[in-house]
Structure formats: structure tokens, C-alpha cells
């Protein structure tokens, strides 16, 4: 299993949750994959891409099938699809290997230009997941049952759960009179609504020589600049306003997937670059005119 890769151009999204009855991704995900293919980006589905924990097989088949046809074309164009495992598809850890065009990995260290970028789902920094894993999976299973009854019932249960956790914390912390627990948490800015452990996880990766860190898992999109200029991104989820990280030769763009698909490539390739990427032949700058012609001939063939 290779977790360190070199990719000049890569798109990262997370938490697509294909197969979950709470939402449909059929068209939007296909457009995203088509965009990647058209603009010569490899893609990384950064965890919870297929919602095995709360799966509806008919939704999965319906949503994934249009994109599968495009996946095949990635290999033909010397592009790759990476799939980092999250907590809703943890069963895929049994397949930590290359499955056809798709490379299933626990995390990814991307070298692009002179930048080192860590791509990881991020559930390993979720305090609840680490401290109470059985409870976490129990809640997920209850969620699956609730979705089976009705998506509306699930939403109501989810809101009740969030309220209950907030109330419990308030009671456990002495009705807000004691702040002991908060002082134990990592200090500093976080993406709004996100536990500070995720930022701390990103900081730890930064200490190990990564220039940028991309997480998912929390369904809260946002970007932060950490100590020593390390950038931290969370691409949110496809339940609402999915975001994306686009990487080109170490440059990073972060924004909504809809903006990427509608407004176009933030790092457009020149014709020479496209030809060079297809043929693997790079025009020499000093002798620009002649080699470019030669490359163009190769491309025509």
C-alpha cells in the first residue's frame, strides 16, 4: 500500500455519503468527476464516500453507476482515483489496496510541486469516536434505523441528540460554573463549530513537515492558517454545500464544488501543458518553436 504519492493536479472532496437515503448525489457527483476528467485532475474521495454504515443499496447503485463509467477513463488518461477510508466506510479497511483504478488508503501524503499535503478523513481526531467507539457505532446504527423509517424522523432524532449532548455537557461541567474541561482542550482558533482536536491533529501533521492538511468528517467546511503558515482545510460534506480542495503544482484553491464546476478550473492548463501531460513530452523552453510542433504531431497521432 502506497500512501505517499506525487500528484501535480488533484481534487479532494469528502463525505459524499453515496447510498445514504438522506440525500442524492447522482448528478452533482457525476458532474464533479466529469470536471476532474476534463481538466486532467486526479481525485481523492477523502472518506465516507460510500455510506456503508447507513446504506441503501438502491440509492448507492443509482448514484454511483453514472460515475463508475467515468472512473474507467481515469486510468486511460494517466489519472488516478484515491479513496481514503472514513468512519462510515470503515469496512473498506479490509481493502486497503489498489482495486482496479481506485487506490484505497488509510490516508494520503501528497507531494505536489514543492509542497507536502496531508489528506486524511479525520475521524481519528474525533474525541467521541476515540473515547466511546462502541457508543459511536451504536448511534450510527440507530441513525440507520431512523433513516429506514423516514429521513424526517432521522433529522428530528439527530437534532434531539445534538441538544441532549449540549445539555449533558452543560450539566457535567457544573452548569457552566466550572470550566475545567475546557481548559484541557487545545487552545486556539478552530473552524466554527468544530472540536479543537481536529485543528490539533492538523498542527501535529504540520510539525512533521506538511505544508497543508485536508480533513473531512465533521461536515463543517472551512479553512484556517495555523502556526508557521501551515494551512488547514475541511471540505465539509455533500449533504449541504460541498466544498473542494484543488491542488495544482503545490498551489491550493478551496471553495464550493458548485463554484468549481460552474466557474471553471482555478488553475487552467495551457495547451502545451495539456499536450505534455498526455504525451509525457515536455517542450524545451529555449527551443520553444520546434519541439512544440513535434509534440503537437505526436498528439495528433
For another protein, the closer of residues 63 and 120 by Cβ is: 120
For another protein, the closer CB: 94 or 208: 208
Per CB under 8 A, the list member of 94, 208, 289, 300 interacting with another protein is 208
**46 forms part of the interface with another protein (CB under 8 A):** no
From 27-35, 142-150, 200-208, 262-270, give the range in contact with another protein by CB under 8 A.
Answer: 200-208
Considering the rule CB under 8 A, would residue 201 count as an interface residue with another protein? Answer: yes
Residues 68-127 that bind another protein (CB under 8 A): 106-107, 109, 116, 120, 124
Among 91, 149, 171, 207, binds another protein (CB under 8 A): 207
196 is an interface residue for another protein by CB under 8 A:
no
Q: Kindly tell me which of 106 and 222 has the beta carbon lying closer to another protein.
A: 106
204 contributes a contact to another protein by CB under 8 A:
yes
What cell was used for 258? Answer: 458548485
In the bound complex, what is the minimum distance in angstroms from residue 195's beta carbon to another protein?
A: 14
In the list 41, 74, 210, 233, the residue contacting another protein (rule: CB under 8 A) is 210
**Paired residues of 42 in beta bridges:** 10
The set of cell numbers assigned to 163 is 441538544
Tell which one of 57, 177, 227, 286 touches another protein (CB under 8 A): 227
Q: How far is the CB of 46 from another protein (least distance, A)?
A: 14
Output 41 or 210, the one with its CB closest to another protein.
210
Please give the residues from 3 up to 42 whose contact with another protein meets the rule CB under 8 A.
3
- CA end-to-end distance (rounded Å), the chain: 36
Q: Given the rule CB under 8 A, which residues bind another protein?
A: 3, 106-107, 109, 116, 120, 124, 186, 200-201, 203-205, 207-210, 227
Amino acid at each position: 500500500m502506497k500512501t505517499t504519492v506525487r500528484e501535480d493536479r488533484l481534487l479532494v472532496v469528502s463525505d459524499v455519503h453515496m447510498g445514504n437515503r438522506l440525500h442524492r448525489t447522482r448528478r452533482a457527483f457525476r458532474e464533479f468527476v466529469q470536471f476532474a476528467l476534463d481538466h486532467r485532475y486526479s481525485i481523492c474521495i477523502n472518506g465516507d464516500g460510500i455510506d456503508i454504515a447507513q446504506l441503501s443499496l438502491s440509492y448507492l447503485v443509482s448514484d454511483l453507476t453514472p460515475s463508475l463509467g467515468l472512473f474507467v477513463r481515469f486510468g486511460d488518461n494517466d489519472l488516478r482515483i484515491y479513496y481514503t477510508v472514513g468512519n462510515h466506510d470503515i469496512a473498506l479497511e479490509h481493502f486497503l489496496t489498489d482495486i482496479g483504478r481506485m487506490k484505497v488508503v488509510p490516508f494520503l501524503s501528497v507531494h505536489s510541486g514543492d509542497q507536502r499535503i496531508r489528506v486524511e478523513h479525520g475521524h481519528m481526531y474525533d474525541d467521541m469516536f476515540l473515547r466511546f467507539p462502541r457508543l459511536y457505532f451504536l448511534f450510527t446504527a440507530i441513525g440507520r434505523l431512523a433513516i429506514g423509517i423516514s429521513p424526517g424522523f432521522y433529522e428530528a432524532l439527530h437534532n434531539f441528540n445534538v441538544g441532549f449532548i449540549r445539555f449533558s455537557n452543560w450539566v457535567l461541567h457544573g452548569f457552566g460554573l466550572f470550566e475545567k474541561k475546557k481548559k484541557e482542550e487545545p487552545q486556539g482558533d478552530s473552524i466554527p463549530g468544530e472540536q479543537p482536536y481536529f485543528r490539533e491533529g492538523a498542527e501535529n501533521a504540520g510539525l512533521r513537515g506538511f505544508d497543508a492538511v485536508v480533513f473531512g468528517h465533521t461536515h463543517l467546511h472551512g479553512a484556517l492558517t495555523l502556526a508557521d503558515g501551515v494551512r488547514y482545510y475541511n471540505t465539509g460534506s455533500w449533504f449541504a454545500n460541498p466544498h473542494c480542495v484543488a491542488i495544482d503544482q503545490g498551489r491550493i484553491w478551496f471553495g464550493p464544488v458548485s463554484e468549481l464546476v460552474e466557474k471553471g478550473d482555478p488553475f487552467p492548463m495551457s495547451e502545451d501543458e495539456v499536450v505534455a501531460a498526455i504525451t509525457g513530452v515536455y517542450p524545451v523552453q529555449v527551443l520553444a518553436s520546434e519541439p512544440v510542433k513535434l509534440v503537437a504531431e505526436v498528439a495528433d497521432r
